[in-house]
Structure 1
Amino acid sequence: MSLTLLSAAEVKESITMNEAINAMERAFIQLAEKKAVMPVRTGVPGAKDGLTLTMPGYLAGEEILGLKVVSIFPQNILMNKAAIQGVVLLLNAETGEPAVLMDAQYLTALRTGAISGLATRYFAVDDARKVAIIGSGVQAQTQLEAVAAVRDIRHVSIWSRQRENAQLLAKKFADRFHCEVCTDIPHAVKDADVICTATSSTEPLITAKHLSEHVHINAIGSHTPAMSEISSEVLSSAHIVVDQIDAVMAEAGEIIQAVNQGAIKQTQLLELGTWLMTKNPDLRGKRTVFKSVGLAIQDLSVAQVVYSNAQRQGMGTSFQLS
């Protein structure tokens, strides 16, 4: 029995953002059709505020079986290492044999960007030109790449607590967009058609005062009940679409807090997969918030595209397990 190994570089070479966005759409429709098996992910606390998660899943519609093991160690940045590390393992859905093991660092950022790209494709105004990026890490980068894949973005405003990191992000995209590093969030989000938040904030960063009525917000940073990027005021003024209701009610701080405060009701939450089945109601041009905490089906659907493309291109190293 052999196992294919794919490096981070090979993963990155084996998939485009548009392919990832399309994979997200297929996966979430399967979730809505109840063709996905996805147990609750299990978290194991580690040293130095670290957390390790296991995320198994099965997409019956495409016969994709596997799991991701990912660790989040914020202190890694002090050692010039990525805060998010991990691997994805895909198995043969007929025999259960391990098929491919791949680096999950870029894949995680890619699929997180891709789900925001999918939401932006359907909820942002057609003529969206300005995007505000709140945060400056690798997740912020793929958020921008995904939004730019589905809209003709011209102007990018960036805010980060680490201004030097915001400047580096702006420099990276300076040849594609007019990039502006902002000293405060109100300036960054003013007149933005799309806002992407990718931070670990425990206090709401986005308030309603400076938002346009048609703005679409992708909120992907908070993933614990104690974290929050979007104010309850914003949520109460918007149509809220989520990756999965059970997941956000367990992990998305801003959603949990807004429900507990009575600012919104859980019944107002609309699951993305359910919406994709009918594409109704039409939310384009209305104020929308898409909240995602990340699901295993995202990793597996993107990993399958990576594996298929890598096989066609002759990439990967074969390792004999037995």
Structure 2
Amino acid sequence: MKDLLFIDADDIARALSPSAAADAVADVLRAGLDPETCPPRANVPVPAGELLLMPAAAGAYAGVKIAGVAPANPGRGLPRITGGYLLLEGATLMPVALLDGAALTSLRTPAVSAVAIRHLAEPDAGHLVLFGAGPQAYGHLEAALAERPLTRLTVVSRTASAAEALVAHARTAFGLDARTGTPDEVSGADLVVCCTTAREPLFDGRLVPEHATVVAVGSHEPDARETDTALVSRSRVFVEARSVALREAGDLIIPVREGALEPGRIVGTLADLVSGRTAPGPGGPRFFKSVGMAWQDLAVAAAVHRAVERRGRGCVERENARRVPTKEGPEHDRPSTQP
């Protein structure tokens, strides 16, 4: 077996823009993949937190992500989400690449949100209220900017220094009118994005304007949510897959349990939007809830691998990629170390 190509975080960032990653997600759906039939995520509790196993197969590729969720890591100066992605040939299941799992997730999750924003947000959406100031917040800012002509950014975070750093980045990198704010600022938002580890609602859903779009990506647990029942009950709700959302998304499960949301009131899925089977339609804010699914990792990992291959394997090996040794290969530098 040949040495396995290692694609690190820098390689992933160079290989695919947020817009291209969103296109990869949409293309897989357009080609006919049905998220409702995809294997469920396996969750395994461990002393440090949780291990997630996420396999998928589609087209010319298969793959599996092993992700670790370690809540105590940020206090140690380490990332909360760890892991790797093993990409395989679809026909033979021979490994072709190992990707940095955290970097892949940091690209994949905003890409999924970007597809939702592409179809749900008002074309002239200008004011983004962003909850959170971690890696996903940076990724979602860039992804949202690729989809809509944002001019204003309000960052709401429990960590003032992190919020100020994101505001400074938005001003310098994108020229936005950016500042920190409070949860009530959703009253003036065109787009609200929630990417936090919160387990309770972040804002009063009654304040969200009728024309606004809300995207929530922070949790995949049935007892955790970033949005409240008031928002969900007045919104047109969209998800990645109905079965997964009603099993993992506390943002929806809790309102269902309270009797405020009938499961049949979920208007549609990303696949419905991409294919044109469902339109956003009028009647309140548009709400997209994402928990993350394995097919999305595969779509983006495959697109990254194709981009690396197009650039020329020899060039990438010299400039960017390290190699993971196999039994038959020589020893090389090993890679250093959302679901």
TM-score, with structure 2 as normaliser: 0.89
CA distance in 1, matches of 2:164, 2:7: 32
User: Which letter maps to 2:54?
Assistant: M
Query: How many Å separate the matches in 2 of 1:135 and 1:266?
Result: 28
CA distance in 2, matches of 1:135, 1:36: 29
- The one-letter code of the counterpart of 2:12 is V
The equivalences for 1:122-133 within 5 A come to 122-133=119-130
Aligned partner of 2:13 in structure 1 is: 12
Percent identity, aligned pairs only, is 28
Per-residue CA distance 1:92-114 (angstroms, 9 max, x = gap): 11111111001011210111111
Deviations 1:233-263 (A, max 9, x none): 1111110000111111111112001111111
Partners of 1:6 and 1:102 within 8 A in 2? yes
Q: CA deviation at 1:145?
A: 0.9
Q: Distance in 1 between matches of 2:36 and 2:199?
A: 32
Residue 143 of structure 1 aligns with an amino acid whose one-letter code is H
After TM superposition, which residue ranges in structure 1, 4 or more long, deviate above 6 angstroms? none
Counterpart contact for 1:158–1:166, Cα < 8 Å: yes
Q: Tell me the distance in 1 between the aligned counterparts of 2:112 and 2:282.
A: 17
- In structure 1, the gaps of 5 or more residues are none
Structure 2: which 5+ residue stretches go unaligned? 329-339
The answer on whether the counterparts of 1:37 and 1:58 sit within 8 Å (CA) in structure 2 is no
In 1, the alpha carbon distance for the partners of 2:156 and 2:35 equals 40
Residue 211 and residue 68 in structure 1: after superposition, are their counterparts in 2 closer, same or farther (change >3 A)? same
SS at 1:206's partner residue? Answer: coil
In structure 2, C-alpha distance between the alignment counterparts of 1:178 and 1:142, rounded to whole Å: 18
Q: Could you say what secondary structure the match of 1:85 adopts?
A: strand
Aligned to 1:28, the other structure's residue is in SS state helix
Number of the residue aligned with 1:186: 184
2: CA distance, partners of 1:123 / 1:227: 24
1:141 offset after TM fit, Å? Answer: 1.2
Once residues 208 and 36 of structure 1 are traced to their aligned partners in structure 2, the CA distance between those partners, rounded to angstroms, is 28
Q: Is the 8 A contact 2:131 2:137 kept in 1?
A: yes
C-alpha deviation, 1:37, in angstroms: 5.8
> 1:159-181 CA distances to partner (integer Å, 9 max, x unpaired)?
01111111111111112111111
Aligned residue in 2 for 1:28:
29
Q: How many residues align?
A: 316
- Paired residue for 2:285? 287
Question: TM-score, with normalisation over the residues of structure 1?
Answer: 0.93
Q: What is the rounded CA distance, in whole Å, between the counterparts of 2:90 and 2:308 in structure 1?
A: 19
The partner residue of 2:101 within 91, 101, 104 is: 104
Q: Is the 8 A contact 1:206 1:234 kept in 2?
A: no
1:135 to 1:34, Cα distance in 2 relative to 1, 3 A: closer
Is residue 85 of structure 2 the alignment partner of residue 88 of structure 1? yes
User: What SS is found at the alignment partner of 1:169?
Assistant: helix
Corresponding residue for residue 55 of structure 2 = 56
Question: In structure 1, what is the Cα distance between the partners aligned to 2:229 and 2:274?
Answer: 26
Q: C-alpha root-mean-square deviation of aligned residues, in Å?
A: 1.8
Counterparts in 2 of 1:283 and 1:96: CA distance versus 1, 3 Å:
same
Letter of the 1:265 counterpart: E
